[in-house]
Amino acid sequence: MEDALAGLPGILELTPHLAQDAFQVRYDPSRLTVASMLKAIQECGFTGRESRALEAGQAASVALEQMPPELQALTAEAGTEGKLVLLSFHGAG
């Protein structure tokens, strides 16, 4: 699944958080949509969903204590390029 996502045009950065069944993805929204990423997850036999999306430089509004420690970095900043999304997945689709 990681290779399928990484191979999509418009992926700028892909960080797996497999213990949480999630990927943190920085992408170019002019070249790629969340729906396309979710389709790639589905084609790998999993069900995916968008858990969190941030515009570049935007702080998240989710309380830190509600997020796993490995994913708390999403609340700091989305960076200066692209859009940041957290995609979670589970089970066979």
Q: Do 79 and 26 touch, CB atoms closer than 8 A?
A: yes
What is the total count of domains within the chain?
Answer: 1
3-state helix, strand, coil in the chain (%, to 5): 30, 35, 35
Task: Copy the structure tokens of residue 67.
Answer: 């997020």
CATH code of the domain containing 82: 3.30.70
Give the percent of the chain with pLDDT over 90: 26
When the pLDDT of each residue in the chain is averaged and rounded to a whole number, the result is 75
* Reported confidence tier of residue 53, pLDDT bands at 50, 70, 90: low
Domain range enclosing 84: 2-92
pLDDT score of 60 more than 70 = no
Q: How far apart are CA 60 and CA 75, in angstroms?
A: 5
Q: What is the largest CA-CA distance in the chain?
A: 35
